[in-house]
């Protein structure tokens, strides 16, 4: 649906971090018809799904699934089908790592399927208000009521289905202002969202309180928690290790050190 | 220096090569670092 001009103008005026800075080209829209979901078994009934958008994790319990993120809206049917291949159990909880559309686009459809969306309170506020990409200027309109989280938390929260649990923790102002990490203790799997990337540069959503020094602080918090035997699921791309997070942290610190003074 | 001048200076050229980043990816990373520091 076309964005009404008045709403688009309001975003231009009101969106944080939006000034006279030049806009950059957007990433071309993917051809969702050709995308397939790739499923990776991470062990202990926990799976990573890669399609178009951020990584998805599905932790299967005895009476339901705890799912993390859900890619773009267009991926719902393929994601849902991929999970149904793994288990007949329904998605009980859908946890969001942050508000970006490539991680939350399927909210409404999964909620209609019966999932309870769980997220940090700031994510709900961002989804409800709509957002604007500080780098490209792309506007994401306010989400529908059904796409909003039904349960929110402030600092930390534990979710349980029979036989599984997930520990949610909010890290403030790292990649965005609503970042959440998820730990599955029985599987030793730690999900970082877009705080951590392996083998590629991260995005930093400076329009919504993300920053390079916040990224370094957030990665330090992650490093303080994770252990060498954990599997680390980043926001995009392949699974990694604690040692790889150290390499990533070094790259971020170098980028900060090499910054040239803003003129 | 302006943002465009910083991008043109390629301060992370070694990582650009190591990560096989295209010019847009490398430039965008410099831009988001620059803008997050300028705020």
The predicted-structure confidence for A83-120, as pLDDT tens digits, reads as follows 999 999 999 999 999 999 999 999 999 999 999 999 99
Give chain B's end-to-end CA distance (angstroms, integer).
Answer: 15
Give chain A's end-to-end CA distance (angstroms, integer).
Answer: 40
The predicted-structure confidence for A171-220, as pLDDT tens digits, reads as follows 999 999 999 999 999 999 999 999 999 999 999 999 999 999 999 999 99
Q: In this predicted model, which residue has the larger pLDDT, A215 or A262?
A: A215
For residue A3, pLDDT over 70 is answered with no
pLDDT of residue A20: 57
pTM: 0.92
For residue A72, pLDDT over 60 is answered with yes
Q: Contacts of residue A211 in chain B, CB cutoff 8 Å? A: 36-37, 39
Strands A231-234 and A189-193: parallel
Q: What is the mean pLDDT of the segment spanning B16-38?
A: 93
pLDDT of residue A1: 36
Chain A, 99 to 158: residues with Cβ < 8 Å from chain B are 134-135
Out of B2, B25, B36, closest to residue A201 by CB? B25
Chain A, 163 to 192: residues with Cβ < 8 Å from chain B are none
CB contact under 8 A, A212 and B33: yes
For residue A168, pLDDT over 70 is answered with yes
pLDDT of residue A24: 84
For residue A14, pLDDT over 60 is answered with no
Q: What is the mean pLDDT of the segment spanning B2-16?
A: 93
The predicted-structure confidence for A18-68, as pLDDT tens digits, reads as follows 455 678 888 888 899 999 999 999 999 999 999 999 999 999 999 999 999
A260 pLDDT tier (thresholds 50, 70, 90): low
Task: Using CA coordinates, name the residue in chain B closest to A134.
Answer: B32
Return the number of CB contacts < 8 Å for A and B: 81
Strand partners, A47: A41, A58
Mean pLDDT score across all residues of chain A: 92
Chain B, 1 to 39: residues with Cβ < 8 Å from chain A are 1-6, 9, 11-12, 15, 19, 21, 24-39
- Predicted-complex ipTM score: 0.95
pLDDT of residue A262: 52
For residue B15, pLDDT over 50 is answered with yes
pLDDT of residue B38: 77
């Amino acid at each position: 649906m076309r964005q009404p001009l008045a709403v688009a103008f309001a975003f231009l005026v009101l969106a944080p971090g939006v000034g006279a800075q030049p806009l950059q080209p957007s990433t071309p829209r993917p051809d969702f018809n050709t995308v397939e979901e790739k499923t990776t078994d991470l062990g202990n009934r926990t799976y990573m799904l890669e399609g178009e958008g951020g990584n998805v994790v599905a932790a299967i319990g005895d009476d339901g699934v705890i799912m993390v993120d859900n890619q773009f809206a267009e991926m719902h049917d393929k994601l849902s089908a991929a999970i149904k291949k793994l288990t007949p159990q329904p998605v009980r909880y859908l946890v969001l790592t942050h508000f970006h559309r490539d991680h939350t686009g399927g909210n409404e459809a999964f909620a209609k399927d019966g999932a309870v969306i769980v997220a940090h309170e700031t994510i709900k506020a961002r989804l409800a208000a709509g957002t604007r990409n500080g780098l490209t200027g792309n506007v994401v309109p306010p989400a529908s009521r059904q796409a909003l989280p039904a349960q929110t938390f402030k600092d930390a929260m534990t979710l349980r289905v029979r036989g599984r649990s997930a520990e949610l923790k909010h890290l403030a102002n790292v990649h965005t202002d609503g970042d959440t990490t998820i730990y599955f203790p029985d599987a030793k799997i730690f999900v970082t969202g877009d705080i951590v990337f392996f083998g590629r540069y991260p995005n930093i959503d400076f329009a919504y309180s993300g920053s390079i020094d916040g990224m370094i602080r957030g990665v330090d918090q992650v490093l303080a928690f994770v252990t060498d035997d954990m599997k680390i699921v980043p926001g995009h791309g392949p699974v990694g290790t604690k040692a790889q997070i150290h390499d990533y942290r070094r790259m971020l610190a170098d980028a900060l050190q090499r910054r040239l003074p803003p003129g | 220096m302006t943002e465009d001048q910083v991008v043109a200076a390629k301060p992370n050229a070694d990582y650009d090569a190591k990560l096989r980043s295209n010019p847009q990816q490398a430039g965008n990373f410099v831009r988001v670092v620059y803008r997050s520091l300028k705020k």
